[in-house]
Structure 1
């Protein structure tokens, strides 16, 4: 079983996906750099958690599980 992410991580990730979906992809490393540029200074762990959840959202969008990103 995986780790449960806090509501803060989910909220920030969804906001980043809504605002910067054109810069994000299904690649964690790319998303990590985008999150680092977009968000204010944060810890490495929090940056990685947000990048991981944004990667998961983008994969679900690519696999057609999510139709509209703005409804997140």
Structure 2
């Protein structure tokens, strides 16, 4: 089981991700450096927790985008298959 994150970490990560959607990536180390530039967080532990949660959110967002694209392709293929059957 993973660690439970406090509301401060989650809220800050979501706010920063909504303000700077293109700044963060799936790379934790890159997100740590980007977070240093964007936010003034004195606590190293808190900064690392926020960077880790941002990384998790970005990965989840990318996975959801891939799934939705895949489902759209499957729906298109299915429609094409039905058209072929009905046309024959």
TM-score grouping bracket, smaller chain normalisation: 0.7 to 0.9
Tell me the equivalent position of 1:28: 28
Superposition TM-score, scaled by structure 2 size: 0.70
Q: Please give the alpha-carbon distance, in whole angstroms, between the structure 1 residues aligned to 2:55 and 2:36.
A: 14
- Where is the helix percentage greater, Structure 1 or Structure 2? 2
Q: Is there any run of 5+ residues in structure 2 with no aligned partner, and where? A: 69-88
Q: Rg larger in 1 or in 2?
A: 2
CA-to-aligned-CA distance 1:28-69 (integer Å, 9 cap, x gap): 01100111111114211111000000000000011017x8xx
RMSD of aligned alpha carbons: 1.5
Gaps of 5+ in 1: 68-72
Runs of 4+ aligned structure 1 residues displaced above 4 Å come to none
